[in-house]
Chain A
Amino acid sequence: MTDISAHPSGKRKTSSLLQLDARTKRRNAAERRFQIYGLVCIGIAMVALVMLLVSIFSGGASAFRQTFATFEMTLPAETLDPDGNRNPEEMAKVTTIGYQNVLRQGLVTAVRGANIVPEGMTDADITGMLSPEAAADLRNRVLNNPELLGQQVEIDALAHGRIDGYFKGRVTMQSAERDANVTPQRLQLAQAMADNGLMALRFNWGFVTKPDASDQRPEAAGLGVALLGSLYMMLVVLVLSVPIGVAASIYLEEFAPKNRWTDVIEVNISNLAAVPSIVFGILGLAIFINFFHLPQSASIVGGLVLTLMTIPTIIISTRAALRAVPPSIRDAALGVGASRMQAVFHHVLPLAMPGILTGTIIGLAQALGETAPLLLIGMVAFVRDYPDGPPAGLFDPASALPVQVYNWTQRADPAFVERSSGAIIVLLAFLLVMNAVAIILRRKFERRW
């Protein structure tokens, strides 16, 4: 053998292993630089995440707490049930205005009883301490349980949004002077009531369970209808897009002949994934509402539109997951005489399941946060009534979480700022729950051998 490895000069230069040569130094420096770039990128991403979370949580956490006036009073049977037979249908003739008067009486008595002197305030001024919603709440409570009449009950009345704003630092004495909805006297009274334990900020489930309220009553606005609407839409998306998407991918990946037609279909599915979501909204408006005459604002239409949006995402990730299953598994199944369908359903699909679930959850998460197409099919409507239980409730008008956020940011009252941030927290929590379910399912399906 000739010595082809020798140095061209004929003499081999040897160097010490203990001394780094220039080339090694350069390579090491490049590697270090690359690691630093990576760390910087991760740092930027983390800072962005922290900024997002801080801004949302600092703005939105207060939405979960609400000011309530708590006092005891006797519900006067003679005004609230003039006929005296406790028939809810007849009692319903007494409107919220009647209850408002009763509440005022109770509140005034409670304030006097606590030896608070509301300076320069009429009884009507004192009513303004409470949310108009408080009277409606009391009316519902009485109609549901007529036995309460004539009894001493504890009232938990929602305070007016401005009073709530005072305890949250949004409303000050200075701003109250320029505000038509509140006076400094009311704030002073609120402070006095709080000092006497008649008024307090506490956790408010109503924010999550109650329906939306009008622009005048931010304190009563809740996410109940939007949550239900989003839940129904996710159910529709899950039930429709997963079977359709997975079946389409299995056909394309395992059965379809590879020819020009399947190429065209493939390209189109990839393009579909990139179509702006508002286009799907127009499609839904044209097809589901104008052609099939499905009801507007209904979660079934929203779900169908989001299904169309989600299918390409699921197809792309499912195909990738199927392709990642080693062909030897298919060979093994075919080799013992399994049909192609048996090979797919018994062996390939279970192995691809974690990947399919990941794709599904990404698709669902996208769909959950989608706003634009829902605006076009009327889900932006102001809906106070809860939809029925599924399946009939799918055709009832409902709202959706992201649309509710959008809706609230449009409103004039500054109290809606905290509520929209709070709604985003609920949306993120919804997402987190979905991801957690996906991770648990994935763990279950993942084969560790």
Chain B
Amino acid sequence: MNDMRIAERDVSTSETKITARDVNVHYGASHALKGVDVDILNGHVTAFIGPSGCGKSTFLRCLNRMNDTIAAAKVTGRIELDGENIYDPKVDPVQLRAKVGMVFQKPNPFPKSIYDNVSYGPKIHGLTRSKAELDEVVETALRKAALWNEVKDRLHAPGTGLSGGQQQRLCIARAVATSPEVLLMDEPCSALDPIATAQVEELIDELRSQFAVVIVTHSMQQAARVSQKTAFFHLGNLVEYGETGQIFQNPRDPRTESYISGKIG
């Protein structure tokens, strides 16, 4: 399976990046995720939709093992990144998270300068050898996050002083700066106004040429706009997974249909 790894980061093929099989999550006594099977493809935006508490965020947090930080959470099943089981005891979650970046629901920049926010990841992973190289990485990441032009004159101003939408794009730049292979986004636009949302959505579409992007969203319109694949979760079950167009226009499962037509959720 190792030969499926690609050296250059231009992701145009649609091969499987992440394979999840029979993933179950328990929070103490509650069974939050029940036997989920999903394949996440390179070069695609995959949207997870579903009503609150359906397990979509829980599943997203399984993909970079952020659930490890919750003592009560227990994950079973197999999740493979390029054929390697990320829950293998030999896998260090820290190394995994360098490959699988994450953007959170609420913009959470560090209370440091814009520059320090973006350069933090490359610094701790030792990705650059000199200040000039680091400057370049920061600029590239900010350009990818469509933020460079707005902040290039105040890189040393506090990141928390930006507007909400800018902060979220700063968080995206921070995640992108470590050159991850997969980018997970947990409702990245729920705290943003429509204009900032549009900017972030545009960004997501551009980012998929370099990463496999997984996005959790409450907004079905957003899922329809940005994603190529959509997974519908309900009460911890993956109800339906398929092409976004098919899910929205021609859902196979009656529960999917009721959700997207607004009858449940």
- Judged by a CB distance under 8 angstroms, whether B108 is at the interface is yes
Contact B108 A347 (CB under 8 A): no
Taking the closest CB of chain A, its distance from the CB of B137, in whole angstroms, is 13
Can you pick out 11 interface pairs between chain A and chain B where the beta carbons lie within 8 Å of each other? A258-B71, A328-B106, A328-B108, A329-B108, A332-B171, A333-B110, A336-B124, A337-B98, A337-B124, A338-B120, A347-B110
311-337 of chain A: CB within 8 A of chain B: 326, 328-337
Contact B94 A339 (CB under 8 A): yes
- Judged by a CB distance under 8 angstroms, whether A351 is at the interface is yes
Please report whether the interface of chain B is mostly helix, strand, loop or mixed according to DSSP: helix
- Judged by a CB distance under 8 angstroms, whether B69 is at the interface is yes
Contact A332 B98 (CB under 8 A): no
**What is B's interface to A at a CB cutoff of 8 Å?**
64, 66, 69, 71, 94-95, 97-98, 101-104, 106, 108-111, 120-121, 124-125, 158, 160-161, 171, 174-175, 177-178
Q: What are the nearest 10 A-B pairs in CB distance?
A: A337-B98, A449-B158, A328-B108, A335-B102, A336-B121, A337-B97, A332-B108, A447-B111, A339-B94, A449-B160
Contact B104 A335 (CB under 8 A): yes
Taking the closest CB of chain B, its distance from the CB of A22, in whole angstroms, is 44
B171 contacts across to A, CB distance below 8 A: 332
B109 contacts across to A, CB distance below 8 A: 332
Contact A449 B161 (CB under 8 A): yes
A338 contacts across to B, CB distance below 8 A: 94, 120-121, 124
Contact B108 A334 (CB under 8 A): no
Taking a contact as CB atoms closer than 8 A, the residue among B66, B95, B125, B177 that contacts A334 in the complex is B66
A93 contacts across to B, CB distance below 8 A: none
Nearest B residue to A341, CB-CB: B94
Contact B161 A335 (CB under 8 A): no
A33 contacts across to B, CB distance below 8 A: none
Known: A346-B120, A351-B111; 4 extra A-B contacts, CB below 8 A, are A326-B108, A332-B171, A336-B97, A338-B120
Taking the closest CB of chain B, its distance from the CB of A363, in whole angstroms, is 26
- C-alpha gap A339/B69 in the complex (Å): 11
Contact B101 A335 (CB under 8 A): yes
- Judged by a CB distance under 8 angstroms, whether A243 is at the interface is no
A334 contacts across to B, CB distance below 8 A: 66, 69, 97
- C-alpha gap A328/B174 in the complex (Å): 14
Contact B111 A336 (CB under 8 A): no
Contact B161 A329 (CB under 8 A): no
A331 contacts across to B, CB distance below 8 A: 66, 69, 102, 104, 108
Taking a contact as CB atoms closer than 8 A, the residue among B64, B110, B177 that contacts A332 in the complex is B110
- C-alpha gap A339/B96 in the complex (Å): 11
- Judged by a CB distance under 8 angstroms, whether A342 is at the interface is yes
- C-alpha gap A335/B175 in the complex (Å): 8
- C-alpha gap A330/B68 in the complex (Å): 13
- Judged by a CB distance under 8 angstroms, whether A257 is at the interface is yes
Taking the closest CB of chain B, its distance from the CB of A429, in whole angstroms, is 36
A332 contacts across to B, CB distance below 8 A: 104, 108-110, 171, 174
A335 contacts across to B, CB distance below 8 A: 64, 66, 97, 101-104, 175
- C-alpha gap A175/B237 in the complex (Å): 97
Contact B178 A337 (CB under 8 A): yes
B160 contacts across to A, CB distance below 8 A: 449
- C-alpha gap A338/B93 in the complex (Å): 10
B101 contacts across to A, CB distance below 8 A: 335-337
- C-alpha gap A318/B69 in the complex (Å): 21
Q: Residue-by-residue, is A367-402 near B (CB-CB < 8 Å gives 1, otherwise 0)?
A: 000000000000000000000000000000000000
A347 contacts across to B, CB distance below 8 A: 110
Taking the closest CB of chain A, its distance from the CB of B39, in whole angstroms, is 23
Nearest B residue to A327, CB-CB: B69
Taking the closest CB of chain A, its distance from the CB of B118, in whole angstroms, is 10
A346 contacts across to B, CB distance below 8 A: 120, 124
- C-alpha gap A258/B125 in the complex (Å): 30
A257 contacts across to B, CB distance below 8 A: 71
Contact B104 A336 (CB under 8 A): no
Q: Which of A326, A331, A337, A342 has the most CB of B within 10 A?
A: A337
- C-alpha gap A335/B65 in the complex (Å): 10
Taking the closest CB of chain B, its distance from the CB of A353, in whole angstroms, is 12
Contact B178 A336 (CB under 8 A): yes
Contact B106 A337 (CB under 8 A): no
Taking the closest CB of chain B, its distance from the CB of A444, in whole angstroms, is 15
- C-alpha gap A133/B222 in the complex (Å): 90
Nearest B residue to A257, CB-CB: B71
Nearest A residue to B118, CB-CB: A336
B106 contacts across to A, CB distance below 8 A: 328
Taking the closest CB of chain B, its distance from the CB of A348, in whole angstroms, is 11
- C-alpha gap A330/B171 in the complex (Å): 14
- C-alpha gap A335/B160 in the complex (Å): 18
Given known contacts A335-B175, A338-B124, A449 and B95 CB-to-CB distance under 8 angstroms? no
